[in-house]
Amino acid sequence: METDDFELTYQELTPACEVILFASGDPVPEDRIAEILNVDVKTVEEVMKKVIQDYENNPWGGLLVRRVENSYVMSTKPGMKKVLERMFSPKMHPPLSQASYETLAVIAYNQPVTRAQVESVRGVSSDSIISRLIDRGWIEECGNLDAPGRPALFKTSKQFLMEFGISSVDELPSMELMSYKTIRDLEDSLEKAAGNDDRQMTIDGFMDPDKKEEGTDDDGEYN
């Protein structure tokens, strides 16, 4: 059996981890990083903890390294949001409605769930909203329910965790999302759960939760 003699010094592991995250652009599982660097997962966790702290403590940098579940990803600092908005203007995504955030909430707090289960909570059809949330990258299919028809199951994605500034769904506030009076209340709770204001997006500017936008259908979605 061929042995892997690839080896880096401990000092080389930090830049090596940065290179992996930069080149990937997407979250990289810690066991994959360990495989690439030919080290154990515990070593990766130790190195990445230092990398995360170094990026957080650098006032001159525009990037962060985040832990998302058991993966790591390189992302931009929230303070650079206005720069990215100018870079990618006009926005590729239209604002989402209150109904969209309600649907996202039902999925986040009850995942994995089927379309029928989402609709039983909301009381209205959610097909189009679920499709929009998939397009946005905030939810994804995660299998099928063992029931007649084998309906698809949905859960929140890693993109959802990244944009709302939490590392896992376990950090969601422990209360039913539908009890929030406004989407701003949800955003504030997520901020407290994360322990800081490091979300990559805010709901302000996307929508006015107290006003149904012109050009929307009965579910509050944009036509």
212 pLDDT above the threshold of 50 = no
The enclosing H or E element of 73 equals strand 71-76
Q: Is the residue at 219 inside a domain?
A: no
Q: Could you give the number of structural domains in the chain?
A: 2
Quick check: is 215 in a domain? no
CA distance 129 to 144: 19
Band of pLDDT at residue 30, cut at 50, 70 and 90: very high
Domain that holds residue 63: 10-76
Based on the domain organization, do 118 and 57 belong to the same domain?
no
Per-residue pLDDT reduced to its tens digit, 37-52: 999 999 999 999 999 9
**Per-residue pLDDT at 195 exceeds 60:** no
Residue 178 and residue 125 in one domain: yes
User: pLDDT, tens digit, for every residue of 119-164?
Assistant: 888 888 888 899 989 988 899 999 888 888 888 999 999 888 887 7
**Claim: this prediction has a pTM higher than 0.75:** no
In this structure, the answer to whether residues 157 and 124 fall within a common structural domain is yes
- pLDDT exceeds cutoff 70 at 211: no
Task: Write the DSSP symbol of residue 153.
Answer: E
pLDDT at 148: 84
Higher model confidence: residue 198 or residue 162?
162
Residues 56 and 142 in one domain: no
What residues contact 127, with CB distance under 8 A and at least 6 apart?
115
Residue 205 binned pLDDT confidence (cut-offs 50, 70, 90): very low
Residues 61 and 110 occupy one common structural domain = no
CATH of the domain at 107: 1.10.10.10
